[in-house]
Amino acid sequence: MEKLLNEISHEGLSGYSVPEIDVPHENIEKYIHKEALRSSEPELPQVSEPELRRHFTRLSHRNYSLTTHFYPLGSCTMKYNPPVNDKLSQLPGFADLHPYQDEESLQGLLELLYGLERSLCEITGMDAFTLQPAAGAHGEFTGLLIIHAYFKAKGEARTKIIVPDSAHGTNPASAALAGFEIIPVKSKADGCLDLELIEKTLNKDIAAIMLTVPNTLGVFEKEILKISEIAHKNGSLLYYDGANLNAILGNARPGDFGFDIMHVNPHKTFSTPHGGGGPGSGPVGVKKHLEEFLPVPKIEKKEFGYKLHYNIPKSIGRVRSFFGNVPVLIKAYAYILALGAEGLRNVSEQAVLNANYLLSILKKELPAPAGDRCMHEFVLSAKPCAEKGVRALDIAKRLLDYGYYAPTIYFPLIVEEAMMVEPTETESKDELDKFASVFAKILKEAADNPATVKNTPTTTPVSRLNEVEAARKPILKWADAPK
Amino acid sequence: MNYIPLTEKENKEMLKSIGIKDASELFSVIPSSSRIPALKLPKGMSEQRLVSTLEAMAKKNASLKDYACFRGAGIYDHFIPALVEEIVNRSEFSTAYTPYQPEASQGTLQAIFEYQSLICELTGMDVSNASLYDGSSAMAEAALLAVRATSRKKILVSSASHPEYRQVLRTYLQGTDIEVVEISSKNGFTSLDDARHKLGNDTAAVILQSPNFFGTIEELSSFRALSREYGALLALSVNPISLGALKSPGEIGADIAFGEGQPLGNHTGAGGVTFGFLSVKKELSWKIPGRIVGQTVDSNGRRGFVLTLQSREQHIRRERATSNICTNAALNALAGCVYLAGWGKNGIKNLALANFAKSRYAYERIIRIPGFSPAFEGQQFFNEFAVKTTKDISHLNKKLFAEKIIGPLALSGFYPEMADCALFCVTENRTKSEIDKMAEILERA
C-alpha cells in the first residue's frame, strides 16, 4: 500500500521553495478587506520534495501503461506513443506561449495548426476542420451543434438523431446535450445496420445518423453507400464517429463514403498519449456545406502569413477557450509528418492484419459473433465460460496477472459477455502469439479450476476491488475516510 | 518512420494463419469506388528531419522563456517546479488509458483521489470530480449541473467573468431551452442591483468569477445572500492560486466552485492543454459531471481506489447521463496534484502573497506614471489589475515587445467601452527589475 499524501505530511515541511520577494513586503490586510481573506490556510499536506518524488514515482509503478504492457483495449487504439512527439510539443516555442500574444508572434504555431487542418482534410476527405474541441466526445458535441445550426439556418425543425445500439455511449449523450432526441436503432448481430429498418425510421424529423465505421464489433458497414444515399435523400446528414479511423487510414476516407461531418481522436489514431484519462483532442471535419457553422476563430492563410478570423456570422461560437488542446495537436501533426502518405496507409493495413491474425487464433477459443474476419478490432463472447461461472470480467482480471492489460469488456452492449480486442499495428507477432497463448491458458484454467480465474488478480498491487461498496458508501477524498 | 515492429516474413506467416494470400483481401469489404490509391501527402520524415522541421516552426513564435509576460486574462505565467514535469512525463502515467481496470491502474487512481482531496481542501467544498477540459467548459458544466439540480432554466452570469467562458457557455446551451442572462458590471464589480433585478424564482444559478476578469475581488457575501433568497445556486469561478490567501468558495457558502487549473503546474501552452476543476457541496455529488474516484477495499481488505458513482456516466446511462464526458484531462490534473502537494499549506499561502506583493508593487509603480491612472476606484485585486491610460495601448505593446516584454491585454477587444483600459498581470515569476524596466518603457512611450 502506498500511503496517501496526508499520511506522509509533517507540520512545517514544504516541497518547493518560495520565490524571493524582491519588492517591498506589503501587508495584504492593508489592501484587501478582511472579509475577502481566508481565516486559516487550506489544509494542504506538508511534504518534502524527496518524499514527494518517491511517492509519485512509486504510484507510477502501480500502473500498467503502454510502455510497460501490451494494452489490447478495444476501441481505444492503444498504439505506440513516440517520445519525440512529446519532446517537440514541449519546445519553449510551443509550450510557453500566451494565447493572447499578437498573431505576429504566434506565426509558427498557426502555421502548424493550419498544416494539421489541411492534412486532416486530405486524410478524411473533408473540406474544413476545426481543432478546438478538447476530446472525442467534445468533438461529437461540436458536430451535433453544427448539425443543429445547419437545420436552423435552413428553417427546418429536425429534432432527432438516429444512433445504433452498437454505438459508444458518448454518441447518445452528446446528442442529448446538444438538445436532440435519440432514436436508438437495433443493429444486426455483426453490429451493421439493418437497411430496411433505417429506411423505415427515417422521416423529416431526423437530423442525422451517427455511425462508427467500422462499427464497434470491428465490422465494416457494407451498406455504407446505400445508407448515405437514403439519408441524404431524406435531407438528413451523416455523422462519422472517428473512434475507429485507424482501420481505414490511408485506404479509404469517410468523406468519400458520403459522410458530411466527423470527428477524429488524435489520442487514438494519431498516437498521442492518453494520459490516464486525457488530455485528448477532438478535431471536427465538415464538408463544404457545413463550413460556415464551424467554431470561431478560424485560421486563415494570407499572403503575409496566418490570421485568426473571428467574424463568421453563422458559426456555432466557441466550444473551448483559446485554441484547443495545442500540445496534443502538435504531437498528432508530428506523427502525420513522420509517417507520410505511405506510412499512414501501412498503419491501417498492419492494424487490420494484426487483428485478423489474433482473431484467427482466438476464435478457436471463444465464439466471435461477428464472424471470421474483422477490421482493426474484434469482439469475442465469453458466454460459454460465463455459463460455467467464469465471466468476461474474471478472464480480464486473470489477464492482468499474466502481465497484460485487459480488453474492453461488456462493450458493445449487443454482445453478451463481450471482450473487445484491438492489438493495433505497433505490436509484434511475438507479442500477439504470447497473448494468444496466455488467453488460451486462462480458458483452460477456467475449465479445469474456475477458482484460479475467479479469485484474480493476485499479482497486481491490490486484489479485486469492491466497486459496489465504493458507490454505496462514497469516500471521495481523504477527509471522508473513517478515522 | 512507421513504428511497426513486424517483418515481411512474419506478415506472411500471419496471412497463412488467417488463410488468405494478400492483406488487401481484408479491405475487400470496402466498396472499391471509395478506396483511394494514395493520400496526397508528402513522404514520411526521419526523426532528425521531423525535429528540425518543428523546431523551425517553434522558433517563429515568441516564447515566454525569452519574453517577460505581463499578460494574464485566464492563462498565467507561473513558475513550474522541476518535479511536476518529471512526474507527468513518466510514461507509466502518460501512456496509460482511463483506469477501467482499477487493479492495474492504482497509480493513476490514487493520484486522482489525492487531486480530488487537494481541490476540496483548497476550495472548501465536499466533492471534486477528476477534472474537466478547461475553465470555460467547467463554467458550462456548472450551469448544466445547476439546471439538473434545481429543474430551473435560467442562468445568470456576470459580465465581469471571462468573456471566452461566457461564449462557450452560450455555445453549449444553444440547443437547449436554457436561458442565459448577463449581469452588468460597474466600476470593475458585478452589479448587485442588476443581479437583484434579474434574479427570479426561475433562476438555477448565479455564476460569478472572483477575482473577476478585471482582476477585482468581488464582494461575494451579498451575492450569496441574494441567490439564497431566490433558491438559486451560487457558482464561483476562482483562480486556484489566489485561494492561498483569499476566502474559499466553501467559506463563502458557494454551492459550486470551478475554474481553470492551468496556474497549477501547467504550461501556458498557448492556452492549452490545461484542465478544468469543479467541486460541489455534498448534496450535489450525484449530479456532478465527469469521472470521480472513490476509495474502497480489495478482497483482502486492503485500501484501493476505483472509478465510482459511474451510474451518472455516458457509458452506463447513455443519453440520460449527467454529461457526455469520457476522456478529460487526467495528466494535467496530475500536474495540479503534484504542484499543490509540493507547495503545501504554508507554501501555497506564501506563493499567493508573493503574487500579491509583486502585482501591488507594479500597480503602484504604473499608476504614478503620467498618463496612467487606476481604471476603478478602490479596486482590490490579487495578481491582476486594470489601468486607464491616455496613451495608445497597441503602441505601448509594440514598444514593450521590442524590449522582450509581452505587455498588458487591451480590454477593448472584449469590452469596446473600455478602449482606454489595459489589464496587467504580475505573477511571482516577474522580478522587480522586469517590472521597473516595463514601467520605464511605459514612461518613455
Is A409 a domain residue?
Answer: yes
Contacts of A141 (CB under 8 A, 6+ apart): A133, A174, A177, A178, A319, B172, B324
Is B42 a domain residue?
Answer: no
A55-to-A379, A461, B340 alpha-carbon distances in Å: 38, 15, 14
Q: Is A54 on the interface with B (CB under 8 A)?
A: no
Q: What's the domain count of chain B?
A: 2
pLDDT at B316 over 90: no
User: Which residue in the block uniquely carries the three cell numbers 497509480?
Assistant: B107
Whole-number Å distance between alpha carbons of A169 and A440: 31
Q: What is the pLDDT of residue B406?
A: 98
Q: Select the residue of A44, A73, A339 nearest B121 (Cβ to Cβ).
A: A44
Whole-number Å distance between alpha carbons of A215 and A165: 11
Is B291 a domain residue?
Answer: yes
Q: Is A177 on the interface with B (CB under 8 A)?
A: yes
Q: Are residues B161 and B276 in the same domain?
A: yes
Q: Where are the alpha helices (DSSP H) in A133-223?
A: 136-154, 170-177, 195-201
State phi, psi for B303 to the nearest 5 degrees: -70, 140
pLDDT at B317 over 90: no
Contact criterion met (CB below 8 Å) for A142 and B171: no
Q: What is the pLDDT of residue A398?
A: 98
- Cβ atoms within 10 Å, residue A389: 12
Q: Are residues A174 and A240 in the same domain?
A: yes
Is A239 a domain residue?
Answer: yes
Q: Where are the alpha helices (DSSP H) in B184-261?
A: 192-198, 220-229, 249-252
Q: Are residues B264 and B329 in the same domain?
A: yes
Q: Are residues B72 and B154 in the same domain?
A: no
- Cβ atoms within 10 Å, residue B20: 17
Q: Are residues B75 and B219 in the same domain?
A: no
Whole-number Å distance between alpha carbons of B249 and B245: 12
How is residue B94 written as a grid cell? 502518460
DSSP-assigned letters across all residues of B61-112: B--TTTSEE---TT-------HHHHHHHT-HHHHT--S-SSGGGBHHHHHHH
B112: nearest Cα among B335, B310, B293 = B293
Omega before A457 within 30 of 0, i.e. cis? yes
Is B46 a domain residue?
Answer: no
B123: nearest Cα among B132, B115, B113 = B115
Q: What is the pLDDT of residue A404?
A: 98
pLDDT at B378 over 90: no
Instruction: State the average pLDDT over residues B347-352.
Output: 96
Whole-number Å distance between alpha carbons of B136 and B168: 6
How is residue A439 written as a grid cell? 488467453
Task: Name the percent of chain B lying above pLDDT 90.
Answer: 94
Q: What is the pLDDT of residue B328?
A: 92
SS3 category, A432: helix
How is residue B128 written as a grid cell? 471534486
The DSSP 8-state label assigned to residue A16 in this structure reads: S
Residue type, B352: A
Whole-number Å distance between alpha carbons of B440 and B438: 5
Q: What is the pLDDT of residue B310?
A: 87
> Chain B residue with minimal CA distance to A159?
B175
pLDDT at B313 over 90: no
SS3 category, B276: strand
How is residue B270 written as a grid cell? 498557448
Q: Are residues B73 and B102 in the same domain?
A: no
Whole-number Å distance between alpha carbons of A121 and B41: 11
Q: Are residues B300 and B157 in the same domain?
A: yes
Q: Are residues A150 and A55 in the same domain?
A: no
Hey, which residues does B128 pair with through a beta bridge? B279
Contacts of B301 (CB under 8 A, 6+ apart): none
CATH of the domain at B413: 3.90.1150.10
The answer to whether the CB atoms of A316 and B171 lie below 8 A apart is: yes
How is residue B103 written as a grid cell? 487493479
Q: Are residues B329 and B374 in the same domain?
A: no
The answer to whether the CB atoms of B247 and A37 lie below 8 A apart is: yes
Helix, strand, coil % in chain B, rounded to nearest 5: 45, 20, 35
Show residues of chain B in contact with A220, CB under 8 Å: 29-30
Whole-number Å distance between alpha carbons of A182 and A275: 31
Q: Is A15 on the interface with B (CB under 8 A)?
A: yes
Is B222 a domain residue?
Answer: yes
Q: Give this complex's ipTM.
A: 0.97
The answer to whether the CB atoms of A81 and B26 lie below 8 A apart is: no
The answer to whether the CB atoms of B297 and A481 lie below 8 A apart is: no
Is A474 a domain residue?
Answer: no
Show residues of chain B in contact with A462, CB under 8 Å: 102-103, 106, 298, 302-304
Element (H, E) at A220: none
pLDDT at B383 over 90: yes
pLDDT at B177 over 90: yes
Residue ranges of chain A whose pLDDT lies below 50: none
Q: Are residues B256 and B213 in the same domain?
A: yes
Contacts of A83 (CB under 8 A, 6+ apart): B91
Is B399 a domain residue?
Answer: yes
Q: Are residues B372 and B312 in the same domain?
A: no
> Chain B residue with minimal CA distance to A250?
B39
Residue of B125, B324, B349 best to disrupt the A interface, most CBs of A under 10 A: B324
B386: nearest Cα among B402, B354, B353, B362 = B362
Q: What is the pLDDT of residue A80?
A: 98
The DSSP 8-state label assigned to residue A458 in this structure reads: -
Q: Is A62 on the interface with B (CB under 8 A)?
A: yes
A146: nearest Cα among A322, A339, A286 = A286
How is residue A270 written as a grid cell? 494519431
Whole-number Å distance between alpha carbons of B58 and B61: 6
Whole-number Å distance between alpha carbons of B350 and A18: 7
Is B348 a domain residue?
Answer: no
How is residue A221 written as a grid cell? 458497414
Q: What is the pLDDT of residue B322?
A: 86
Show residues of chain B in contact with A340, CB under 8 Å: 41-45
Omega before B263 within 30 of 0, i.e. cis? no
Is B267 a domain residue?
Answer: yes
CATH of the domain at A428: 3.90.1150.10
Q: Are residues B128 and B197 in the same domain?
A: yes
Contact criterion met (CB below 8 Å) for A76 and A321: no
pLDDT at B405 over 90: yes
Confidence of residue B295 (pLDDT cuts 50, 70, 90): very high
pLDDT per residue over A38-79, tens digit each? 999 999 999 999 999 999 999 999 999 999 999 999 999 999
- Final residue of a structural domain among B282, B304, B339: B339
Is A478 a domain residue?
Answer: no
Whole-number Å distance between alpha carbons of A241 and A230: 19
Q: What angle do CA B299, B304, B310 make, to 5 degrees?
A: 95
A480-to-A43, B53, B125 alpha-carbon distances in Å: 14, 51, 12
Show residues of chain A in contact with B243, CB under 8 Å: 38, 42
Confidence of residue B95 (pLDDT cuts 50, 70, 90): very high
Is A70 a domain residue?
Answer: no
Instruction: State the average pLDDT over residues B323-341.
Output: 95
Q: What's the domain count of chain A?
A: 3
Confidence of residue B22 (pLDDT cuts 50, 70, 90): very high
pLDDT at B376 over 90: yes
Q: Is B344 on the interface with A (CB under 8 A)?
A: yes
Confidence of residue B384 (pLDDT cuts 50, 70, 90): very high
Q: What is the pLDDT of residue B253?
A: 98
B364: nearest Cα among A24, A286, A216, A295 = A24
Task: Name the percent of chain B lying above pLDDT 70.
Answer: 100
- Cβ atoms within 10 Å, residue A13: 18
Domain of A397, in residue numbers: 348-469
- Do strands B409-410 and B421-425 pair parallel, antiparallel, or not at all (unpaired)? antiparallel
**Spacing of C-alpha A379 from chain mean position:** 19
Q: What is the pLDDT of residue B362?
A: 98
Hey, which residues does A187 pair with through a beta bridge? A193
Q: Are residues A334 and A354 in the same domain?
A: no
Q: Please report the residues numbered 382 through 441 in chain B whose beta carbons come closer than 8 angstroms to any beta carbon of chain A.
A: 397, 401, 406, 409, 428-429, 431-433, 435
- Final residue of a structural domain among B308, B339, B370: B339
Q: What angle do CA B151, B152, B156 make, to 5 degrees?
A: 140
B113: nearest Cα among A65, A478, A55 = A478
Q: Please indicate, yes or no, whether the overall pTM of this predicted structure exceeds 0.95.
A: yes
Domain of B190, in residue numbers: 82-339
pLDDT per residue over A96-113, tens digit each? 999 999 999 999 999 999
Q: What is the pLDDT of residue B311?
A: 83
Q: Is A253 on the interface with B (CB under 8 A)?
A: yes
- Cβ atoms within 10 Å, residue B371: 12
- Final residue of a structural domain among B283, B312, B339: B339
How is residue A28 written as a grid cell? 495584504
Q: Are residues B324 and B217 in the same domain?
A: yes
How is residue A379 written as a grid cell? 469482439
Half-sphere exposure of A420 (CA within 13 A, CB side): 27
